[in-house]
Amino acid sequence: MSVKITQFEAENVKRIKALTLTPAPAGLTVIGGRNNQGKTSGLDAIVWALGGDRYRPSQAQREGSAWSCPTGSSWSGRARTAI
């Protein structure tokens, strides 16, 4: 089975305050930037969103964020993926 992400949003995950990613429809999407800008955090958020809590990154909540899950669980960030 093949999965294609059409849009990805994440908030308060690791170094990410807010991220919206819309991959190119027919090509390669490059995630680039300087050190400590959140590239790996973005990839970790995608893996977590697709793989579930088994792939939850260590220290998943962004330091200083006050967002909490409305269901009362311990999940401290949000990620939404359209596939």
* Confidence (pLDDT) at 70: 43
Which DSSP category does 53 fall into?
G
**Residue 2 domain flag:** no
**Residue 70 domain flag:** yes
Range of the domain at 77: 7-82
* pLDDT tens-digit map of 24-80: 887 888 889 999 888 999 999 999 888 888 988 877 877 777 655 444 444 445 555
- 16 CB-near residues (< 8 Å, 6+ apart): 10, 38, 41, 42, 45, 62, 77
If one counts every other C-beta atom within 10 angstroms of the C-beta of residue 81, the result is 17
Is residue 67 within 8 A of residue 12, CB to CB? The reply is: yes
Number of domains in the chain: 1
Which DSSP category does 61 fall into?
B
Pull the structure tokens for residue 66: 């006050």
**Residue 19 domain flag:** yes
- Asked if residue 4 has pLDDT above 50, the reply is yes
| Secondary structure class of 16 (helix, strand, coil) | strand
